[in-house]
């Protein structure tokens, strides 16, 4: 039989709370087996959780993560999976580059304001 995990074991392995794992289950991203009240997670659930957390870390929305994780269930060799995944990665990269430009502009404004303020303070204290 393949490796199985409790919710606590998965939570500890990925440094998340059990509530986080239950949330992903409620959202349909994870589907553990049940033994009475206990959840039994399989290796595929562990891989899916890893993909979910990676997607979250990369800033994908829950809907995008569902789409990406859904590719994991598609038959191997499906070129559409990779095409979609590459498209999502490129979209996310473009969003992050836009944010970086905005941050760089804001930092430049802050630098200019600080420089002006320091110069003005020197003028005031020199008098």
Instruction: Please give the pLDDT value at position 85.
Output: 82
Distances (CA, A) of 53 to 17, 46, 57, 61, 68: 12, 11, 6, 11, 12
pLDDT digits (tens, 9 = 90+) for 51-80: 999 999 998 999 999 988 887 777 766 677
- Nearest CA-CA partner of 52 in 43, 44, 62: 62
Tell me what pLDDT residue 22 has.
96
Give me the residue spans of the domains in the chain.
Answer: 1-59, 74-127
**CATH fold for the domain made of 1-59:** Multidrug-efflux Transporter Regulator; Chain: A; Domain 2 (1.10.1660)
pTM of the model: 0.72
Average pLDDT score over residue span 17-28: 96
């Amino acid at each position: 039989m393949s490796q199985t995990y409790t919710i606590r074991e998965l939570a500890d392995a990925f440094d998340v709370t059990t509530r986080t794992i239950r949330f992903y289950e409620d959202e349909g991203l994870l589907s553990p087996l049940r033994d009475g009240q206990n959840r039994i997670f399989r290796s595929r659930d562990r891989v899916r959780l890893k993909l979910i957390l990676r997607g979250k870390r990369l800033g994908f929305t829950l809907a995008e993560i569902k789409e990406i994780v859904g590719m994991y269930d598609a038959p191997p060799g499906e070129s559409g999976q990779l095409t979609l995944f590459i498209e999502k990665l490129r979209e996310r990269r473009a969003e992050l580059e836009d944010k970086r430009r905005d941050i760089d502009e804001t930092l430049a404004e802050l630098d200019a304001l600080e420089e002006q303020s320091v110069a003005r303070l020197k003028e005031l204290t020199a008098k």
